[in-house]
Copies of this chain bind each other. A is one copy, B any other.
Amino acid sequence: MSIIFQKIALIGVGLIGSSICQAVRLKNLAAHISVATRRAQTLDEARSISIADEYFLSGAEAVKDADLVILCAPVGAFEAIMKEISPHLKAGAILSDVGSVKGHVDKVVGPLVPAGVHLVPGHPMAGTEHSGPLAGFPSLFEGRWCILTPRADVARAAVDKLAAFWEALGSQVELMDACHHDLVVAITSHVPHLVAYNIVGTADDMESVSKSEVIKFSAGGFRDFTRIAASDPIMWRDVFLTNREAVLEMLGRFLEDLSVLQRAVRVGDGDALEDLFTRTREIRRSIIDAGQETDVVDFGRDHKPTPK
């Protein structure tokens, strides 16, 4: 593919930032990649796998002359980052991010964007339970969706250019209002994570069932939840601190439905249970058909002998 941006700068080089760098290099989408991160150890890890051309501990230096700047840090750090880099952004540059909560980006990043810089917030719906630069890989975004949430007054050319960039990374792009985005991810991502963290915590706290029993017999379903409950703690803390209203609304609905289900168990309403369990079976099929899930049994987990 051909170069879309002369220079891109990433602030934050965790799983997502590192994967962007690797994909950009592989596909030759930028002439120059500059990265910055706050911790020296993280920067060393990024340097050890040569994901960029320049490495900085200061965002202000990294963004100099960049045509595209992407904030790839946890959303809780965005305000501080903006205060640092804002005076150094090039006129005409596109400023984006990969944060999971878009209303918050409007709120804290929006007011700090200099005139002449185009803010196009983004959210690639991709990731794994691992974190840090070494966890990144260039095909992370292939076949996944990237949601962009520009405000109505943002230059259309900037939105189109960023959309072309994500498509070049292998993603499908959808434009959405920031507020609606935050509702969509509350139910498809944030509440599932909260529930997974919670059930793993509950099992960990049990006295009547030992931790070693929970571990040994986790193949009955529990282990599935531990994958997303192993996600980056800081990133997820920030998600729940910044998408509070949408998370609480969706969690309220989840709890309402769970009360109905709890009652069906208590009174032994087999028909209600069977109806729900039959209906939920179909949605997985739809997700597989949409290319958003692997079409192999048990996620393709290896069913060969496991060493003891």
A residues bordering B, Cβ < 8 Å? 76, 100, 125-130, 135, 137, 139-140, 142-145, 147, 170, 172, 174, 183-185, 187-206, 208-209, 211, 213-231, 233-234, 236-238, 240-241, 244, 247-248, 250-251, 253-255, 257-258, 261-262, 264-266, 268, 270, 273-274, 276-281, 283-287, 290-294, 297-308
Smallest CB separation, A229 vs chain B (Å) = 4
Minimal beta-carbon separation of A13 from chain B (angstroms) = 18
Q: Count copies of this chain in the complex.
A: 2
A229 to B, closest residue via Cβ? B280
* Chain B: minimal CB distance from A220 (Å): 3
B187, B217, B221, B279: the one contacting A196 at CB < 8 Å is: B221
Given A145-B216, A194-B261, A279:B240 Cβ within 8 A:
no
- The answer to whether A125 and B217 have CB atoms under 8 Å apart is yes
Docked Cα-Cα span, A214 to B234, in Å, equals 25
- Whether the pair A198, B305 counts as a contact (CB closer than 8 A) is no
Q: Is the CB of B283 within 8 A of A307?
A: no
Question: Would A217 and B301 count as touching, CB distance under 8 A?
Answer: no
Known A-B contacts A191-B199, A199-B195, A254-B199; A224 and B227 likewise in contact (beta carbons under 8 Å):
yes
